[in-house]
């Protein structure tokens, strides 16, 4: 396939681009600076500028662009960055797809979204049919997904990947936790009863490839493990994998002081299940948290020559 990718320099995008190239696909990366390589194309999503010729005749577009949710305190300014970095990019791509002649439009738009769509689900398990929640992230995801409408109306298959935090040693979920847990300072958040949606990085990559190829799947898809865990279960599993105790608790008010409004999201319960992927026959390599942690945190043995 000839695939155009936005967000190809991010954590997930870099790894997915490498995977797809290894599978024989040709990747064109959208960049916000002057293009320096034949596989790059410049665009300005904040101004809605993208040369339609870049998308013309492509088999698929993958849009993973968006500022990192957990990198900064959620000031009013950064919340605007979170929204605009997602909505402007999606709106630009979708409108260019709609402008193309029918026989030149990409067949598929693989569009990033997040499980933040659901807000706080408490103990209730939810699948793709559940409505959007009422939190900041839920509202952002709702507008973000709606920005794909021009592409969908033009006949392109749109897949909305509602992705959960990924389990990988260098990912935004595990990376900041590893040092305190290794020092024996691992802690659950509040009562630890809140549910957590997650997915192993290997399974996210497999799912992205699966959804790219499965032309009978469209609309929202929860890209999550079929086995969500509570925060207490996650804390215990990570401590056990690192052979360290995790006896501490971070009270909600203390977390509020440390990271501000983002603390509220960290304490929300999201018992999200992968209804569409399960129904489509997707097979997880690491459906359970313990196996996922072991796979990413235990180095592969070096074999003697």
Q: Helices (DSSP H) in the chain: which residue ranges? A: 11-22, 52-55, 76-99, 136-146, 149-153, 175-182, 201-213, 231-241, 252-259, 262-266, 275-279, 289-297
Tell me how many helices (H) and strands (E) the chain has.
12, 14
Q: pLDDT digit string (tens) for 23-75?
A: 999 999 999 999 999 999 999 999 999 999 999 999 999 999 999 998 788 89
DSSP track, 73-88: ---HHHHHHHHHHHHH
Q: What percent of the chain has pLDDT over 90?
A: 86
Strand partners, 235: none
Dmax of the chain from CA atoms? 61
Long-range contacts (CB closer than 8 Å, 24 or more residues apart) made by 168-177: 168/200, 168/201, 168/296, 169/296, 169/297, 170/11, 171/11, 171/201, 172/11, 172/68, 172/69, 172/70, 172/71, 173/198, 174/238, 174/296, 177/238
Q: pLDDT digit string (tens) for 93-149?
A: 999 999 999 999 999 999 999 999 999 999 999 999 999 999 999 999 999 999 999
Distant-in-sequence, close-in-space partners of 111: CB < 8 Å, separation ≥ 6:
63, 90, 145, 148, 158, 159, 160, 161
Long-range contacts (CB closer than 8 Å, 24 or more residues apart) made by 245-251: 245/184, 245/186, 246/181, 246/184, 246/186, 246/187, 246/188, 247/187, 248/185, 248/186, 248/187, 248/188, 249/187, 249/188, 249/189, 249/190, 249/192, 250/187, 250/188, 250/189, 250/190, 251/190
How would you class 283 by CB atoms within 10 Å of its CB: exposed for 0-12, middle for 13-18, buried for 19 or more?
Answer: exposed
The H or E element that residue 31 is part of is strand 26-31
pLDDT of residue 264: 72
Q: For residue 285, is pLDDT > 90?
A: yes
pTM for this entry: 0.94
pLDDT of residue 302: 44
Domains and CATH numbers, the chain: 2-167+198-224+269-284 (3.40.50.720)
């Amino acid at each position: 396939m000839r695939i155009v990718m936005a967000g190809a320099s991010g954590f997930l995008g870099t790894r997915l681009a490498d995977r797809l190239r290894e599978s024989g696909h040709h990747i064109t990366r959208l960049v916000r600076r002057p293009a320096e390589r034949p596989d790059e194309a410049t665009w300005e999503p904040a101004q809605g500028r993208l040369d339609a010729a870049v998308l013309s005749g492509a088999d698929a577009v993958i849009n993973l662009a968006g500022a990192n949710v957990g990198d900064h305190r959620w000031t009013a300014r950064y919340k605007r960055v979170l929204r605009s970095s997602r909505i402007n990019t999606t709106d630009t791509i979708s409108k260019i797809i709609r402008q193309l002649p029918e026989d030149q439009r990409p067949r598929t738009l693989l569009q990033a979204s997040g499980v933040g769509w659901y807000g706080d689900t408490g103990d209730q398990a939810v699948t793709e049919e559940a409505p959007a929640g009422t939190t900041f992230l839920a509202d952002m995801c709702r507008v973000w997904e709606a920005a794909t409408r021009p592409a969908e109306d033009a006949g392109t298959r749109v897949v909305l990947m509602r992705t959960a935090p990924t389990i990988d040693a260098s990912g935004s979920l595990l990376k900041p936790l590893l040092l305190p847990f290794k020092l024996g300072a691992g802690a659950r958040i509040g009562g630890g009863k809140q549910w957590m949606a997650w997915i192993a990085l290997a399974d996210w990559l497999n799912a992205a490839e699966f959804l790219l190829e499965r032309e009978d799947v469209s609309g929202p898809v929860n890209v999550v493990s079929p086995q969500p865990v509570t925060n207490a279960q996650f804390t215990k599993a990570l401590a056990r994998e690192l052979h360290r105790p995790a006896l501490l608790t971070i009270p909600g008010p203390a977390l509020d002081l440390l990271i501000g409004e983002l603390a509220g999201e960290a304490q929300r319960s999201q018992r999200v299940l992968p209804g569409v992927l399960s129904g489509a026959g997707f097979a997880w390599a690491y459906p359970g948290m313990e196996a996922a942690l072991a796979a990413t945190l235990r180095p592969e043995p070096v074999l003697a020559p």
